[in-house]
Structures are given as structure tokens and as C-alpha cells.
Amino acid sequence: MDAQIKSLIEHLVELGAEEQELRFWEDIMKDLDDADQVKLVNLLQHEAIQLEALARR
């Protein structure tokens, strides 16, 4: 899960999302329980999908 979150954050940064706020989540992800990590992954994936769609327009 950690690797997935890190990978998503890197992808979002590449897509132009604000890096500082995302790095914060990378730092604290170890303090999240499994359910919250899944929730975070879903949120990051959702933002990535939206930014990818925007890039195609």
C-alpha cells in the first residue's frame, strides 16, 4: 500500500498537482490504518483520473 500511495503521489506531481500538500500525505501514510490508507488511495486515484482527463481536453 505504501508503494502504491507513493507512486500515485509521484504521478499526481507529474500531472501538475500541488506537491507540498501531497508530500505531507506521503509522510503520514504510515500513521494511517489500513482502511484510511485505502481511502487515501481512492482519493488520490480519483484526482489523478480527473487531471488525466483534463490533460486530454
Partner 1 sequence: MAPEKMKNQEGIPRHEGYRLSPEERLLERLRIEVESRRERNDLLERVYASKIGRLIPLAYESNLGHIIPGMDVAKMFEAAVEGEKTEDEKSSVQRRFSCAVIAAGFAIAWALLIAGEREGASFAGLVAGGIRVMEFHEEMIDEAVEKAQKSYAKVGHLLEQARDFIADEPQLAARVAERVRGFLGKGLKTEEAL
Q: Return the number of the residue (3 or 18) whose C-beta is nearest partner 1.
A: 18
Cα angle 46-47-52, degrees, rounded to a multiple of 5: 100
Question: Does residue 41 bind partner 1 (CB under 8 A)?
Answer: no
Block residue for cell numbers 508503494: 3
**Mask 5-24, x = binds partner 1 (CB under 8 A)?**
-----------xxx-xx-xx
Sites of contact with partner 1 (CB under 8 A): 16-18, 20-21, 23-25, 27-28, 31-32, 36, 39-40, 43, 46-47, 50-51, 53-54, 56-57
